[in-house]
Copies of this chain bind each other. A is one copy, B any other.
């Protein structure tokens, strides 16, 4: 089978080489070298109804060595491309923070990590590739469980296979898993759930077997690695992805970010699952199931109004549920179903929701 890492590595190194050639070409032609990339300014971030996510428009921006106000960022980006090339060739994983500190060994100046992080996003925009392709991985970890066979591609584990259904507390999702080849599964869907306690409940109640599913604990807002893996499970394994969150505006947005990413990653396509379905807990479920509630705060209400202005929330359940939240001014946690017994959520709530997901 295809070795995903080799392909991605080849592509990543190729895109860096292309940038390097452009710099050499400029120099040879007596031009100031520069990097050109789609503009990431707010004006150039547009919602695309076709791909159902934010994308960058047609404006471009540059980091040119011939412009004294851009010379600093040009130099930083030049160094980062060099460093990313080294990381990728050596297959050493790193984090945003590692890159920031590594720059000091080369006397490349960043005022702080925020400046370094921003240049890393520039590199993503220049190459149209997520930083993970250059071995820069997020710190955060979430968890997966279910019948999924993977084959690792990281050094030291190359070719080793693993089934992710044997450790009931779940397998951490990090660089090894996001870059592994996905070999096979008997699962027919992926259920992403917001909380560790519920993840444990789902494993305990054998939701993986009863509903032929892979269960993912996003641990609140899903980290980039988790979103990458969800996308791959959807695209490469053909699995529908359903998302289950607390019944509040933040839960709704956790589902939306899995579905359509965020405006500040509008230059990437690797982090979204446009077909992902948010199946609950909906505001309408709070009424339907008579769940114990918590009053919405002023901040919750403001957040609802803010999201109503977001084009992603202009129709369908996304809009409808925001309106109901605003009407009832109450929210409910996933654990609220425990009022009806600990397994009520898996026995009674989940089955019709999964059925419904097919028609959403």
Residues of chain A whose beta carbon lies under 8 Å from any beta carbon of chain B: 92-95, 97-102, 104-105, 137, 139-141, 143, 152, 154-157, 160, 162, 164, 166-177, 195-197, 200-201, 204, 206, 217, 219, 292, 333, 335-343
Return the contact of A292 from the options B94, B95, B101, B169 (Cβ within 8 A): B101
| Docked complex Cα distance between A350 and B141 (Å) | 24
Q: Which of B98, B196, B204 contacts A342 (CB 8 A)?
A: B98
Q: How far does the alpha carbon of A166 sit from the alpha carbon of B151 in the complex, in Å?
A: 11
Residue in B closest to A336 when the chains form the complex, CB atoms: B101
Instruction: Give the residues in chain B near A172, CB-CB below 8 Å.
Output: 143, 167, 169-172
Asked if B342 contacts A102 (CB within 8 A), the reply is: yes
27 A-B contacts, Cβ less than 8 Å apart?
A93-B200, A94-B197, A94-B342, A95-B197, A95-B335, A99-B338, A101-B333, A102-B338, A102-B339, A102-B341, A105-B341, A139-B195, A141-B169, A141-B170, A141-B217, A141-B219, A155-B204, A156-B206, A157-B168, A160-B166, A169-B171, A169-B173, A171-B171, A172-B172, A174-B196, A174-B200, A175-B200
Beyond contacts A167-B177, A171-B171: 9 other A-B pairs, Cβ-Cβ < 8 A, are A93-B200, A98-B335, A99-B338, A101-B339, A105-B341, A140-B196, A162-B167, A169-B171, A169-B176
**What residues on B are CB-neighbors of A200 within 8 Å?**
93, 137, 174-175
| Distance, CA A99 to CA B94, complexed state (A) | 40
A171 x B167 contact (CB < 8 A)? yes
Copies held by the complex: 2
Query: A92 — nearest CB in chain B belongs to which residue?
Result: B342
Q: How far is the CA of A183 from the CA of B176 in the complex (A)?
A: 26
Residues of B within 8 A of A196 (CB): 139-141, 174
A340 neighbours in B (Cβ, 8 Å): 105
Least CB distance from A142 to B in Å reads 8
* Given A139-B196, A170-B174, A217-B141; A338-B98 close (CB under 8 Å): yes
Chain B residues near A342 (CB-CB < 8 A): 92, 94, 98, 102
Q: Is the CB of B339 within 8 A of A93?
A: no
